[in-house]
Amino acid sequence: MDILNLIRIAYRALQRNKLRAFLTMLGIIIGVAAVIAMVAIGQGSKQSIHDQLSSMGSNMLTVSPASNLNGGVRIAGSSFQSLTQKDIIALQKQVQYITEISPSITSRGQAINGALNWPTSMQGVSPSYLDIRKLTLKDGIPFNENDVTTSAKVCLIGQTVIDNLFPGGENPIGKVIRFNKIPFQIIGILNPKGQNAFGQDQDDILIAPIGTVQKRISATIYYQNIYASAANENVTDAAVTEMTSILRESHRLRSNEDNDFTVRTQAELINTLSATSGLLTVLLTVIAGISLVIGGIGIMNIMYVSVTERTREIGLRMAIGARGTDIMLQFLMEAILISITGGVIGVVLGMVSTWLVTATLGWPTIVSESSVVLSFIVCAVTGIFFGYYPAQKAARLDPIEALRYE
Amino acid sequence: MSKTILEIKDLKRDFQMGVETVHALRGINFNVETGEFVTIMGSSGSGKTTLLNILGCLDQPTIGNYFLDGVDVKKLTRDELAQLRNRKIGFVFQSYNLLPRTSALENVELPLLYNKDVSVSERRERAMHALESVQLADRSDHTPSQLSGGQQQRVAIARALVNEPVMILADEATGNLDSRTSYGIMALMQELNQTHGKTIVFVTHEPDIASFSSRTILLRDGMIQKDTKNEKPRSAKQVLAELPVTDDYKI
């Protein structure tokens, strides 16, 4: 008996009981559709969580001066002066895994606009700092390299400072405020970032070109920090190693000397990222497994009913020459037809419902090919697995008894 | 030149019912030649059904031999028995056993589905031909529920014929039919036997039906009580013609 014949026999048998075949299929349909929609929603939210965590700068590296011994007294790293423009130039020349570098100096002081004043910090950085920290402007323009070299008296302003210096809601762009008595023209407004993990207000800040802060406010040639972006989260460790060796060379450290700086990563963020996606994957796999097993049990149940109900038919088929194998393959094929047809409908339904979720709720979704292929394969396997026992029961019937079955 | 189709030698069949052994057949000997129309009769419990199952290769003898068309059935495996049934035997059952919601033509095709040597087009052709020989070609697309009892049994006979078996084995084939329809079926059987030379073994308990056959074997308590040749079988066609015509049966 060839396969086409088998499919035809199975198809005709299913056709004789369309509603029941459909209801049995429904378990598989819902299972597969749920898996595909779930995975799509899961993948979508995973992607958006990933994007959000990235926007917090998960690939950011921070170089700070290390604490050091000075005549037996340990000096706090922050007061130690080791990072200079020479390091920046060395890094810029040699790095592979790093895309952006910015030095940074922060100075606290009083910002004044007319009669209003507000204590805040001014951070001097290079233009690439905005990219490294994923800062964006709500309005205005960022400063450029030229502003850094000419020590231009321009700055970007954070929302908290605006609220305190411009309470009337007037547009601060183009206005001149004074910071530590030096006038700065506001050229851009930063998008609010809110608090960081330690409760610090990240919007209470003025950002100015590094040259300006270095020369006009802090009067120093040293940097407090160097910020850098690794190409992505996965190469941060490589980037750390790379930066360390470049800086050691730049600082002329002998091999027996400790680093006079530390390079830190956003390890916590990266861990959160991988933990989140790992959890989602496990959750979805479990749901997929459960729903398909339930669908499979439905198939098994209905196939048992079907075998019992069609005992006489089985007896007849055996009497006119069907072998046990033929009967088994027929029932197995019915189970596979149910599960595969259910699988196809489920895939379509899953995609449609995914599309609906995006269209109506605006949730981000990604239908991954692997989830479609996988749930389809699982379907076929489910059909074979749960169809096998009823089919075997049918094949083992005694034709004499089957023919006399009432 | 007639050839021996069935050869039964000292056939016994025992069933184990718990601790008790039931002797359903206690040593049977008979041969059937090609072209014979044999009826097997007997009251219930006489071993009719057991003999039928063995003749139909659905069951095997405990002791003794059964040769069907020269093949020793006792030596065959389950699958080989299935193939033998498929090629050499055409079954006709009391309750027709047609597949519901399946057209007459597809029902007739069924045995050929289990025969690898028959192509799709040949299958259709042979099924149609079998339906023609039972005068039901015009009902080929009807499902069993759209056919009368007699017509359903004729579809079943067509199904038994389609594989060109060496023997048609009928089990109380007229048991569910009224006498007029029964005679119709017997007339068809006689035609197949006389015109087409089909060997027919017909199990029944009605002496009336047995009178249409050329030989009657009477079973009693698992033994052959009587094996009589019927030199002048009645013609079912003639009996049918002589039946008083009532309005119910007018076409």
| Three-state secondary-structure class, residue A75 | strand
CB count within 10 Å of CB A300 equals 20
Torsion of CA B64, B68, B72, B73, to 10 degrees: -80
In this prediction, residue B246 carries a pLDDT of: 67
Q: Chain A within 8 Å of B82 (Cβ-Cβ)?
A: yes
Query: Chain A residue closest to B117 (CA)?
Result: A1
What letter represents residue B216's amino acid?
A: T
CA distance A11 to A269: 55
- Spans of all domains in chain A: 3-52+272-404, 60-265
A16–B113: do the CB atoms touch at under 8 Å? no
Our CA-based measurement puts residue A400 at a distance from the nearest CA of chain B, in whole angstroms, of: 6
Query: Chain B residue closest to A2 (CA)?
Result: B116
In this prediction, residue A51 carries a pLDDT of: 75
Contacts of A349-355 spanning 24+ positions with Cβ under 8 A: A349/A29, A349/A32, A349/A33, A350/A32, A350/A33, A350/A34, A350/A35, A350/A36, A350/A37, A350/A40, A350/A375, A351/A36, A353/A33, A353/A37, A354/A36, A354/A37, A354/A40, A354/A41
Low-confidence ranges of chain B (pLDDT < 50): 1, 251
Chain B residues in contact with A9 by the CB 8 A cut-off are 113
Q: List the beta bridge partners of residue A208.
A: A124
CA distance B180 to A176: 117
Chain B residues in contact with A315 by the CB 8 A cut-off are 97
Our CA-based measurement puts residue A322 at a distance from the nearest CA of chain B, in whole angstroms, of: 6
Chain B residues in contact with A326 by the CB 8 A cut-off are 82, 114
Of B94, B99, B167, which to mutate for an interface test with A (greatest number of A Cβ within 10 Å)? B99
Q: Chain B within 8 Å of A5 (Cβ-Cβ)?
A: yes
Residue among B78, B102, B111 minimizing CB distance to A320: B111
| Three-state secondary-structure class, residue A306 | helix
CA distance B57 to A339: 36
A400–B58: do the CB atoms touch at under 8 Å? yes
ipTM exceeding cut-off 0.95 for this assembly: no
Q: Tens-of-pLDDT digits for all 406 residues of chain A?
A: 578 878 888 888 888 888 988 988 888 898 888 888 888 887 887 777 777 777 667 788 888 887 665 556 666 555 567 788 888 888 888 888 888 899 999 999 999 988 889 999 999 999 999 888 888 888 889 999 898 889 899 999 999 999 999 988 888 899 999 998 899 999 999 998 877 766 778 889 999 999 899 888 888 888 888 998 888 777 888 888 888 888 888 888 888 877 888 888 877 666 776 677 677 767 876 877 788 788 888 888 989 998 998 899 999 999 999 999 989 999 999 998 989 899 999 999 999 999 998 999 888 888 888 888 888 888 888 888 889 999 999 999 999 999 888 7
Chain B residues in contact with A395 by the CB 8 A cut-off are none
Measured in degrees and rounded to the nearest 5, phi and psi for residue A169 equal 85, 10
Chain A residues in contact with B59 by the CB 8 A cut-off are 400
Chain A residues in contact with B166 by the CB 8 A cut-off are none
Q: What is the DSSP letter of B248?
A: G
- Spans of all domains in chain B: 35-60+77-249
In this prediction, residue A74 carries a pLDDT of: 65
CA distance A150 to A209: 9
Q: Chain A within 8 Å of B163 (Cβ-Cβ)?
A: yes
A5–B56: do the CB atoms touch at under 8 Å? no
| Three-state secondary-structure class, residue A96 | coil
What letter represents residue B50's amino acid?
A: T
Q: What is the DSSP letter of A215?
A: I
Distances (CA, A) of A372 to A40, A46, A157, A243, A367: 10, 18, 49, 43, 8
CA distance A37 to A351: 7
Report the percentage of chain B scoring pLDDT > 90: 56
Query: Chain A residue closest to B109 (CA)?
Result: A320
Interface of B with A in 33-72 (CB under 8 A): 53, 56, 58-59
Chain A residues in contact with B99 by the CB 8 A cut-off are 313, 316
Q: Chain A within 8 Å of B93 (Cβ-Cβ)?
A: yes
Q: Chain A within 8 Å of B113 (Cβ-Cβ)?
A: yes
A332 CB-contact burial (10 Å; exposed 0-12 / middle 13-18 / buried 19+): buried
Tell which CATH architecture fits domain B35-60+77-249: 3-Layer(aba) Sandwich (3.40)
